Amino acid sequence: MLFARSAFAVAAQGLVAAIYAAHGSATPWRDAGAWLPAYGSLIDAGCLGLLWWLARARGHHAARFYQLRSQTLGARSVVGRRAHPPGLVFIYGGIIASSLLVYGNPDALQIYGPLPLLPALYGVLIFPLVWGITEQTTYNGYLLPRFQVLSGSTGFAVAVVAFSWSFQHAVMPLTFDPHFMLYRLLAPIAHSTFITLVYLRVRRILPLATAHWLMDGVSAFIGILWPLLR
């Protein structure tokens, strides 16, 4: 599961690129990358399917990742809410720092681009919601506690999961541009590390997935839908 999302991302982009190639596009791979907010749901479907299969293989139900513990629900919800403002600092600080390091200026590169209206609405209203739930479940709900147990080291588990979580961005979309891929790899590392540490404290997926959804939703709106509304 460490690199499942990265693998599914390349496969999904390849599927869209094949459709572009079949229609005569001279740059099918690049054209396909713009549709990440649409084919991103294929990535999520693959990961959720794997999580369901792994849970069933161990005699569990996938819903156990979202179980709530009423005796600690209130306190952990407060911790989760308080983590949102510093989380924004880490993500946007990481983007600016990565841009400075790779490109020499603090201007963040826009990942999303304009799409036709219906895909744009999907990319803003549906894509971020499913994306946030799936990422938090994959990295925090499934991988992090297992690497804790397997390695016996919380620090090692955080490092491995945070790096894998950050690495996936380098192939979303896959551009084969080394500067862009390095920028995408470095930008989320601080936030990925921070959010794994928060999860270890709260042990709840849904508050973190909600924050993830809102953050990605704003980015998608600015990049995808806003150009159509201006």
Give the pLDDT confidence score for residue 62 in this predicted structure. 57
Instruction: Check: CB of residue 194 under 8 Å from CB of residue 87.
Output: yes
Give the pLDDT confidence score for residue 60 in this predicted structure. 67
Give the pLDDT confidence score for residue 81 in this predicted structure. 58
Give the residue carrying structure tokens 């930008």.
187
Give the pLDDT confidence score for residue 69 in this predicted structure. 46
Give the pLDDT confidence score for residue 70 in this predicted structure. 42
CA angle, 101 then 107 then 112, to 5°: 110
Q: Round to the nearest angstrom and report the end-to-end CA distance of the chain.
A: 41
As a residue count, the chain comes to 230
Question: pTM of this prediction?
Answer: 0.88
Average pLDDT, 10 consecutive residues per value, the chain (230 residues): 96 97 96 95 96 85 53 47 76 93 87 89 94 95 95 96 97 95 96 95 88 88 86
Give the pLDDT confidence score for residue 26 in this predicted structure. 95
> Token digits for 151?
């390695």
Give the pLDDT confidence score for residue 75 in this predicted structure. 42
Chain-centre distance of CA 192, in angstroms? 10
